Every structure is written in structure tokens, then in C-alpha cells.
Structure 1
Amino acid sequence: MNARQLFLIGTLSAATALPAVAQDAVTLKIAHFLPSVAPAQQKVLQPWCEELGKASHGRIQCQFFPAMQLGGTPAQLADQVKNGVADVVWTAPGYSAGRFPAIEAFELPFTVQDATSSSRALWQYYQQHAQQEFSAYKVLAFHTDGGQAVHTSSKPVAALKDFAGLKLRTSTRLGAKTLQALGGAPVAMPPAQVTEAIAKGVVDGSLGSWELVLPTKLSEVTKFHLQPEAGAAYPTATVLMVLMNKRKYDSLPADLKALIDQTTGETMATRFGEVFDGEAAETRRRVAAEGGKITTLTAAEVATLRKATATVDAEWIKQSGERGLDGNKLLTAARALAGTNE
């Protein structure tokens, strides 16, 4: 065999190998409801994608579709990933009211005190109590927003009486029920509309995590902020999740599945928690530096608000029973894992 024949054989071998490499590569379409500057994308999901790309030698890549660029509403993200419109979504189960009842326990009043510890607790809770309702998905992570503070434009809130008639944007049905129990008037709307609604006086402010304040420019239209003291639980919180299309995951080679498994679950939940807590601290610092007034509820004041929202717990437990769930057991488990039992 001469040199020319060897060269041709080598060229053909390389050419026939190329389709196998290309076929093995995968691009994950990742969708969520916030702008691309949101910490969830910049500090968690993008670094995760970079880690996957490096560990897989480029065989896993990501394409982001923030701010609902694939169409639809935040409430439709769970269906978009289930149906394969997106491969991965970051969203809130509470946007699909009543669809994922067991996981709602972490949104009940005064269950969440920070993002890091509650996100780890939520992942454990999911594994023990809520896997069945997510059987149609490959679940990558659950986490919380760390708790929702009260952000208002012109009406400071410092005690239970100040909630009377207060119109606030709420993100979940349990957040709305909590606000009602405190005497306020909940208004549902997507995060992207909140700032404009406050500026126009449609609402007085918003219940929202500190992490959302800067990406949504909430700090530009609110002057007053209310939060519990460190170690005390917030009036409500939002559960968030990263879901993957099950068929997409099942179609991956075993080594790529292993990479995804190794970098998600409690690892990703903890990362979200740490980022959200870090963002909260930095946001509070910036808000205070820019003249915003942050009021801190004492443990005694939190206890007063907690007593006022006991009806929300009771109603949720009753509704859970009607769905065949032991609501009292779930709520007890959630607060025990989160460290917020009374």
C-alpha cells in the first residue's frame, strides 16, 4: 500500500468519524421568565452550562431564552419543558396554581428564613414528599427565593396594622392568601409588569425577594422595605425549580447523563441559595446607600404576624386533605427541615 492510498484511507476514516461526534453533541434550550441579567442566569445557570461544556469537552452547549422569548407566559413554562418546546426551564411551581400542591408547603407563611438553608431543606423535602407530582419531568433542582420582603412606594409598613388595604403584587396563590390574612389586597401580575404598575399607582408595592429588586428595577419605584430580623422567617416565599424535558434527558449518552446528575440536585439547590442570599445582602446595601428605608421586624412582631396568618395554614391543610394529601404532616415536615417550627 503506497503513501497516497494510506492518506486516502486516513481521510475517509476521519470523515466517517465526524457525523458520530456531531450526533453525540447536544444543545440545551434553556428558558425562564426574567431578563438575562438576572442572577439566576448570570450566576447559576450560565456557570452550570460552562461547567457542563468543559467537562463534556464541548459536547453539551446551552442556548438561553430569557424573558419568555419562546413565547407564552411564566405559567406555561412547566408545559413548555414537558412538551419539548424548551429542554430546561427555571420557573416557579406556584405560577401554575394548584398543579403541584405538595411542594407548596414551603410557600406557607413564616416557613422560609433564608435562601441557602431553605433550599437545601426544600430539596430534601422534595425527595421525601413530592417526587410523585413531578414524575413527568427530570427534576434538576428546587430552591427558594429566600423569603419575600415588603417593598412599597409611599406607604411605609412596620406593623400588622399597616397592611390594612395595602395593594401589593404577589407571585403565588399562598402569597396572596397570606397578604389577605394580614389585611392587604393582593394583585397578581408577571414580574416584568410590577415596576410600571407601581409607578402608575396601580399597586402600592410588591411582595418580593431581594434578589428581584435590582433586575426588575423595583428599587427605582419603592422607598420603603420591610423584612424580619436575621434568623426569623419571612411572611411568604416563592418556591423555584429547574426542570428538564424527560425525553431529552433519556436520549443522552450515559456519560452526559452522569454529568448532569453530578452538577444538579442538592449541588445546584445550594448554589442557587448561596447566590440568592448573596444578592439579598448586596441589594440591601445598595438600597440603603441610595436612601431607601429598610425596617426590620423583631421576633415578637413576626410572632404577631404569624398568629394572624394561622388561617392560611389551616385552609391549606384542609385543601390538601381533599387532594388526598396529609397537609399537617407535610407542613410539619417542611418547617422541621427549614428550622422554622414554633
Structure 2
Amino acid sequence: MQNIFTRGALFLAGSMVLSSALYAKTETLIVHHFMSSKAPTHTKLLMPWAKKIEEASKGKLKVEIFPTMTMGGKPNELYKQARDGVSDIVWTLAGYTPGVFPRTEVYELPTVHKGDSLATTIAIRENMDLIEGDYKDVVPLLIHAAAGNAIHTVNKKITSVKDLKGLKFRTPSRSGGWLIEEYGAEPVGMPLPALPQALSKNAIDGALVPFEVFPPYKFHQLTHYSYEGVNKERFGTSIFMMLMNKKRFNKLSPELQKIILDNSGMELSKFAGQLWMDLEEPGKKMQNKSKDSEVVKFDKKTLDEFDKAGQKVVDKWIIEAKEKGIDGQKLVDTARETISKYSK
């Protein structure tokens, strides 16, 4: 009789283990972004990250990625989708929601960001304690920089700042709009996916964007001139961010939270920073090889003229930050020092 009870107990215990294994809950994380499924953001950043998360969790986490705003809404609504839980995770631009990330904005500024996305992204990660106040409502998984804005024009060749006077330029951000105004041009705000049509219809005369967007959006067919400094200096940049809904994160087990954070630290920042540097060259080559198009490098004298306008933007930003109770000068000084330390 005792053997029968022992065997029964063992059978029941085995059944419970098997049942637990069969019915163990898989947590599915939804990622939403505005780029196409063929864009490097999707294929080279988000998909590899999702695979690492799934493998590290041994199937306890599943990541589903929805590109091209297929879950609905507009690109400038992505931050709200993450904050409000419409999406678990989003990849978006800080510039799409002006005023929401007042501290992070320092890394967008011209003359602060020089043109090295790796150096700027490492600096952001190293100084997260100075900008963490921007992320009270979400969990920041990755904050990273583009290589930087080059100046692109549809038809007009530029030799100095004064040549930009009166032109209409797409701005990638609030600070980018200030810079365009300092150039004497008119800033026009619009999401990146709307830019090709605006250029093709001559609704605007040019744009501030990095070369990495040329392949997916065919900008080499829409602009004749592109400009950067002699040492690849740029004119401000855009800051990208991968943000997670805080409640969704907190509902995960400590084990799964750790897996996400372990795969979203400095290693991911360095990977993203270098990736965006590498993405510049194909677009630049497309522009150089395109018929009647060229990439012009400003000499130091001309670049100094553009940087003078850029410094005015920085000064304006510091004053505004102070009005918000933020030590803008400290943020600028720290950002410049750290970026310089990691610049090649």
C-alpha cells in the first residue's frame, strides 16, 4: 500500500512539474517605431536586440516589432504610446516631443555634438545621472545620437551662412529650428517620412538630416548639394531613444527585468553609436555618385562662421534651461568634456 501511495505522489509531482513547464507564461513585449522594416533601425538594431532578449530569457520573453507606425498613430505620438502603455516599447526621436526632454536636448546642440555618434552616445550613457529627470514616466533602455545633421539643399549651392537667408529648411528638432533661424532661414517642422514629398514638390529648399537616411528615403535623388566640415563636423544632431512603459516593466519578474537591463546598458550604447557612424558612409557615397550632386566640405574659415551661429543657439538654450531650474551651463560643459574624451 505504501508503494502505491509513493508512486502516486511521484506521479502527481511529476505531473505538476510538467504542467508548470507547459503553462509557464511567456511575456510578449510590443515594440513600435516609425521607420520601415528595411531600415537599419529595424534590421540592425531592434531585431538583433529582440533576439538577444529572447535567447537570454530562454523563451520567457518574446519581442514583436511593429515598424512604419503599423499600430497606428503618428511618429510624434510614440513617446505618449510608451508612457501610456499603448506600446510596451518605442523607438523614437526626442525632437518629436519638444520640451519633454529638456536635459537630454543638450546632446542635440550644434558645437556640443561634433559629428561622432559613438562619442556622443557614450557621453549620454556615462552622464545619465544628469538627465534622468527627463525619464520619470518611462524606463530609458537606450538613448543614442545620430552622426549628426549635414546641410542639404535641393538646388542652391552654399558658400557661407548668408547664402541660406530666406530659404525654407526642414528642422529635425526645436534646437535645429533655432539654428536654422540663426542662419537667416525659415524652419519647417515635419516628421522624417514627410520630407521626401516636401523636397520633391519644392515646398522646402533643404533639410538638416544625417546621410544615414539617404538610402531608405532616396534623398540623393532629391537634393543636389550636401555640406559638412572638413573633418566631418556636423551642425547639431538628433537624439534617438528606446523607451519602455514603466508599469509594464515593473510587472515583469526581477529576473526578466534584469535581462532587459543587462542588454540595454553601455554595451548597447556603444553598439548603437558605432552603428550610426557606419551608416553614414553608404548615404554619402550615394550622394557623391548621384548625377549632378556633390558633398561639399566647408573649410575651417567657413565652418567657424557656421559654428558662430551654433554657439548662439547654445547660449539661448542655457538661458532657457536656467528659467526651468536646470543648470544648462553644467550640462553643456559636461557634455563637451565627455564627448571630447571619447572622440576619435
Say if 1:157 and 1:225, in contact at 8 Å, map to a contact too.
no
Summarize deviations over 1:116-173 as a string: whole Å, max 9, x none. 1111112223x23111221221110111111101122211223222211221111101
Give the SS at the match of 2:334. Answer: helix
Say if 1:34 and 1:191, in contact at 8 Å, map to a contact too.
no
User: Could you tell which deviates more after superposition, 210-219 or 319-328?
Assistant: 210-219
| One-letter identity of the residue aligned with 1:119 | T
Partner of 2:311: 310
Structure 2 residue aligned with 1:16, among 15, 19, 25?
19
Partner of 2:284: 284
Output the CA distance in 2 between the equivalents of 1:19 and 1:81. 31
| One-letter identity of the residue aligned with 1:33 | F
Give the SS at the match of 2:28. Answer: strand
Partner of 1:264: 264
Q: Which runs of 5+ in 2 are unaligned?
A: none
**TM-score (norm. length: structure 1):** 0.91
Residue 294 of structure 1 deviates from its aligned partner by 0.3
Output the CA distance in 2 between the equivalents of 1:207 and 1:249. 35
Output the CA distance in 2 between the equivalents of 1:195 and 1:143. 24
**TM-score (norm. length: structure 2):** 0.91
Output the CA distance in 1 between the equivalents of 2:61 and 2:103. 33
Output the CA distance in 1 between the equivalents of 2:126 and 2:8. 61
State the Cα RMSD in Å: 2.1
Output the CA distance in 2 between the equivalents of 1:235 and 1:306. 8
Output the CA distance in 2 between the equivalents of 1:265 and 1:228. 31
Output the CA distance in 2 between the equivalents of 1:5 and 1:122. 60
Give the SS at the match of 1:214. Answer: helix
Output the CA distance in 1 between the equivalents of 2:253 and 2:73. 31
Give the SS at the match of 2:81. Answer: helix
In the TM superposition, what are the counterparts of 1:137-176 in structure 2 within 5 Å? 137-176=138-177
% of aligned pairs identical?
Answer: 28
Partner of 2:125: 123
Output the CA distance in 1 between the equivalents of 2:255 and 2:62. 15
Summarize deviations over 1:266-294 as a string: whole Å, max 9, x none. 22221111111111012212322334300
Structure 2 residue aligned with 1:114, among 107, 116, 120?
116
Partner of 1:226: 227
Output the CA distance in 1 between the equivalents of 2:134 and 2:299. 37
Partner of 1:251: 251
Partner of 1:217: 218
| Number of residue equivalences | 335
Q: Which runs of 5+ in 1 are unaligned?
A: none
Residue 15 of structure 1 deviates from its aligned partner by 5.5
Partner of 1:191: 192
